[in-house]
Structure 1
Amino acid sequence: MTEVDLLMSTTTSHELSIAYRTNSPQLRFGVNDLVAILECRAAVTQTNLGDLSRNDSPSIVLLGNSADRDQLAELTDETLIPSSHDPEGYTISRIRIGDESTLLVSAADDTGGMYGALDLCEQLRAGTKIEEIQEKTATPSVEFRALKFNLPWSPYRDGEQTEIHFETCRDLEFWRAFLDMMARNRFNALTLWNLHPFPYMIKPHAYPEASPFTDEELERWQNFWHELFRMAANRGVETYIVNWNIHTTPEFAEAHGVHQYNDPADKIKEYTRACVTEVLNEYPKLTGLGTSVASWTENMTPEAKHTWLQETFVEGIKRADREIKLLHRSIKSQALDEMRRVIEAEAALDNVSEVLVPSFFGQFLSPIVIRPVSETIGLSMTFLSVGVILAGGAATFAFAAIYATPPTELGPEPTSS
């Protein structure tokens, strides 16, 4: 029996309506998946939540925040609208709106509402009738669920194995499918790694000679990044650009008589600081940056390594016009007191909301998160590496799905946390 046959045998044949805040891209993503499943058997209409009246009886309602719940409260005699209060969590329940029973997905944020809609999709695909959808409250058991993606441009290992994927990774349709996969498998962070990402993103105002691209070429790159970060945000996926230090471009090295790698010269320090600030200002949808002192800094003392990081990344972030999150990769940091000094400086910045400090064991992390420096707490994090390998000339990606906690029976409204 095919999936379509299964759905036709388990879905009641009548018109279905879905109400939600239609200007939310996350809720719309979940609804689009839901409609694709339901419309093979029934006509499906979509209604903006704000346009509902007490005379309407939608089949399914998605709520992504407290304002949505307030709107719904005006349409029902229910005294309590169940909801999850946890970030990215959701509750599936049934309430009465008008004369009908309505399936309700209620969440504390739009990403949780999207995950709730995807939960409905999974139950329907498994053969559950819509009137028998399981009521539950689900909360992510892992807070930061990231993929590590090594980009094929400016790679730390070059050759045919990366060159063959260059055009694929410049294709936004590839990223659309990849981000769809991430959302459906509940990943919420995409970390993009290469040696020196900045020249592919900006032409520093003070150092235009560092750019290897014409203005037209750079504009195409910038359009790519803006759209990639937008698509990720629309699916509840944070984005981070992560580099290795110390690097610059061949063009900059030649123009200023410095080395391309492993050169702590003041001119490279100024260049790096400018790149950090300008990338953050150019890309408001980029969640944050990641960096470390673990790579091409082997000839420097631990104190010099961390001082360099503080005078480039920390100062560059400080000069940016917006708030960010920061991944401080701690591998090979050596002197923990020096690492701590820089992390405290990062966390003290007014425009840094979180400092994530991963410690590598293979490709998995045992991290802490600092929000702010005076409050160091444990963070549940999983970091999976996406390996791009040659397999019959195609890109093969290894990934694993991380789902919310196992479903529980619907009980009283959870206490706010």
Structure 2
Amino acid sequence: MVEFALQDLKSVLGDVHILTDSSQMMEADILLQINSEVELKKEGFSIKKSHRKIIVSGFDEAGLMYGILELSEQIELYGIAGISEMTKNPYFEMRGPKFNIPLDVRTPSYSDASDAGQRNIPVMWDFDFWKNYIDTMAKYRYNYISLWSLQPFPSLVKVPGYEDISLDDVQRSTGTWENIYNLNGIGMDTPEILDNPETLKKISIDEKIEFWRKVMAYGKDRNIDFHLITWNIFNYGTGGKYGITDRMDNEITKDYFRKSVKQMFVTYPDLAGIGLTTGENMKVDGKRTNAEERENWAYDTYAKGILDAAAEMPDRKFTFIHRQHQTGAKEIAEKFKEVIDTKNIEFLYCFKYAKAHVYSATEQPYYLNDNFVEDIGSMKTIWGLRNDDTFYFRWGSPDFVREFIENIPHQVARGIYFGSDQWIWGRDFLTKDPETPDQLEVIKHWYQWMLWGRLSYDPTISNEKFTDLLANRFPEVDAKKLFSAWQQASQVYPVTTGFHWGSLDFQWYIEGCISHPRFAQNKTGFHDVNRFINLGVHPKSGNQTIPEYVKMTLADSSSVLKTPLQVAEKLHQLSDGALNDLKGINSIQNKELQFTLNDIETVSFLGKYYAHKITGSTYVAMYRETKDTHFQNLAVAELTRALDFWIKYTDKALQQNNNPLWTNRVGVVDWKEITNWVKEDIEIAKIDL
């Protein structure tokens, strides 16, 4: 870890001496030391100055790594004379990405039925990807990676008694995929998919095991643990061998899962933990089972598997993560008491804190609705922060992230994960003519990922610091204007989604104004004027729905809630503010800056589209209630302006992005086709009642 951080330090230092022996301090400019001072905690560090001397102390090696990275950054930004003393301890102990992992067509993740899933299958078996990914995440202060799969065991382990299930090679299907599959992850093993394979990599199961051992060991050297989390019950990859099915009452299936869980820890000495979800596909004869039945199955498989591993390896620490999903926290604690009481197992809950849209509001109500904090008592949870919004465009609002993090219930928090179900954060394939082909998504979207990582470690980092980081990365522009433009454009996401609230991933995708057709209440999935009128608002957004506004206006009453027209005005302010800040900022020859400015402008046009759409939809509702054609004329005018800005949005976006995009939850997002549906909003407004 220290050697890794020293690469950055040495690159900015020149001839300054670096020592790790305090007895030689008189000769040293910088001293690095492990020092578990009273004010330091695990992964904490301090930077102190004494005359010409700089002392970087870490509570442990990880803390020293973070301290050196901080020192390097300060020197790069401000020079040695500008170094600030500080003592820092992590705000959240666990800080990691949610990474749906497409290992093979035979062992898919939730996200495989998509362009992102299919394109990233070979990436998962590329060590250079993982090396760069882990290095990048370490610099952003993440300390674990959660790999999510429906059921990955055939691609990762040889299970005693079930050896014939283990899969050689890496395959992808050349068959014809459907646009949208079952929302519970069922149906990705049809003959059309499995009977048309292409081999992407010739590799034996033993070589696969060595590959992942190497990846996890590399993570250890960057203070990054790996956890594996699954949905249940899926028998993908087993091929019906040994009598394994996806039935809850199949004892062979239970035995296979129990032994697979243990074998994961036996096979991978650096695997930190395993987790599960109950409820996705846990049925018997097609009938939904109750929570007790699902938890009994989970205990007989995952719990017993990790207990077997813990008993066999008593000196090893294990983490067991149980998502609070379609099951009560108290019931989980009662059923898994033996796991909780086992000394070398840490039991953690996992809660989907903001449903699927972290970019909705900085305050979230769902843990309150479930009485979750009270129910888990003195136990701890990982808060799940789902981002199923920003796939195309670079996002960056420090104020939003900081406020969001500070609102998370800290007293029960072990940490957070940040990530997506509709997206694989692997390699970029959307950018036309990229500066760096196959660039990592977490580098393309560096600002967003840095904000969530760095602020989860230390939410007190100031906007001035982030502005300085922008100035260092893009020295040719006014960093204050860039910071302001980027933050204002990024706020388009939560302001829009806070008003137009489809809580789950299949219920809303803002960059396409689309959802699963079932939720859109039409055949296309496009959220038209009618859906903007009848869909509710985020419960903590402080917004008023359109029907509430119409009723209030006609009754000549008032409300403390923000009206739809006020929400629209806020979107105009943000978008116009960002566009105004962009004036005079020139990308010159910097291609990354060019892409960044394009994204900011593109999202600003999207904000203008939603502002006019919300206003137009409000006037349509007023017209329907009053029959006053004045409101109808206003609606047509607003929706016509909305179309203008949608065209500007898509024209700008298509300058540097590939589209259509096939997603796993809302199907194909085709901006040109959607333009036709945007036009239809105007016709909806013209309809006489």
Aligned to 1:286: 271
State which drifts further: 353-362 or 312-321: 353-362
Q: Answer yes or no: is the 8 Å Cα contact 2:96–2:417 preserved in 1.
A: yes
Instruction: Give TM-score scaled by structure 2 length.
Output: 0.47
Aligned with residue 242 of structure 1, among 220, 229, 241: 229
Residues 375-390 of structure 1 correspond to what in structure 2 (within 5 A)? 378-379=412-413, 381-386=415-420, 387-388=423-424, 390=429
Structure-2 separation of matches of 1:270 and 1:44: 60
State which drifts further: 134-143 or 351-360: 351-360
| Helix, strand or coil at the partner of 2:204 | helix
Q: Answer yes or no: is the 8 Å Cα contact 2:94–2:414 preserved in 1.
A: yes
| Helix, strand or coil at the partner of 2:122 | helix
Aligned to 1:400: 449
For residues 385-417 of structure 1, what are the alpha-carbon distances to aligned partners after superposition, in whole Å with 9 as ceiling and x for unaligned? 053275148564554223224379xxxxxxxxx
Aligned to 2:243: 257
Aligned to 1:323: 317
Structure-2 separation of matches of 1:336 and 1:53: 53
Aligned to 1:223: 210
Aligned with residue 167 of structure 1, among 122, 125, 128: 122
Aligned to 1:149: 99
Per-residue deviation, 1:105: 0.9
Aligned to 1:391: 430
Question: What letter matches 2:204 in structure 1?
Answer: E
Q: Indicate whether 1:357 and 2:343 are aligned.
A: no
Per-residue deviation, 1:288: 0.6
Q: Answer yes or no: is the 8 Å Cα contact 1:64–1:113 preserved in 2.
A: yes
Instruction: Give TM-score scaled by structure 1 length.
Output: 0.76
Question: What letter matches 1:277 in structure 2?
Answer: K
Aligned to 2:341: 348
Per-residue deviation, 1:351: 2.5
Per-residue deviation, 1:253: 4.8
Q: Answer yes or no: is the 8 Å Cα contact 1:357–1:369 preserved in 2.
A: no
State which drifts further: 320-329 or 206-215: 206-215
Aligned to 1:269: 254
Higher RCO, 1 or 2 (CA under 8 Å, sep at least 6)?
1
Q: Indicate whether 1:43 and 2:15 are aligned.
A: yes
- What's the C-alpha RMSD, in Å, of the aligned pairs? 3.0
Instruction: Looking at secondary structure, tell me which structure has more strand per residue.
Output: 1
Structure-1 separation of matches of 2:373 and 2:58: 26
Structure-1 separation of matches of 2:318 and 2:25: 45
Aligned to 2:526: none
Per-residue deviation, 1:65: 4.0
Instruction: Looking at secondary structure, tell me which structure has more helix per residue.
Output: 2
Q: Indicate whether 1:130 and 2:102 are aligned.
A: no
Structure-2 separation of matches of 1:149 and 1:158: 12
| Helix, strand or coil at the partner of 1:164 | helix
Structure-2 separation of matches of 1:224 and 1:329: 28
Per-residue deviation, 1:281: 1.5
For structure 1, which runs of at least 5 residues remain unmatched after alignment? 1-25, 67-81, 409-417
Pair 1:205–1:216, CA change in 2 (3 A): farther
Structure-2 separation of matches of 1:163 and 1:224: 20
For structure 2, which runs of at least 5 residues remain unmatched after alignment? 170-201, 359-365, 381-410, 433-437, 463-689
Question: What letter matches 1:130 in structure 2?
Answer: I
Aligned to 2:624: none
Q: Answer yes or no: is the 8 Å Cα contact 2:330–2:375 preserved in 1.
A: no
Identity of aligned residues (%): 23
Question: What letter matches 1:358 in structure 2?
Answer: F
Structure-2 separation of matches of 1:277 and 1:370: 29
Pair 1:347–1:114, CA change in 2 (3 A): same
For residues 54-110 of structure 1, what are the alpha-carbon distances to aligned partners after superposition, in whole Å with 9 as ceiling and x for unaligned? 4752221222344xxxxxxxxxxxxxxx67422222111024xxxx74211112111
Structure-1 separation of matches of 2:295 and 2:151: 19
Instruction: Give the total of aligned pairs.
Output: 354
Question: What letter matches 2:122 in structure 1?
Answer: E
Aligned to 2:163: 208
Structure-2 separation of matches of 1:274 and 1:141: 36
Aligned to 1:302: 291
Pair 1:405–1:338, CA change in 2 (3 A): closer
Question: What letter matches 2:430 in structure 1?
Answer: A
Q: Answer yes or no: is the 8 Å Cα contact 2:378–2:412 preserved in 1.
A: no
Aligned to 1:185: 140
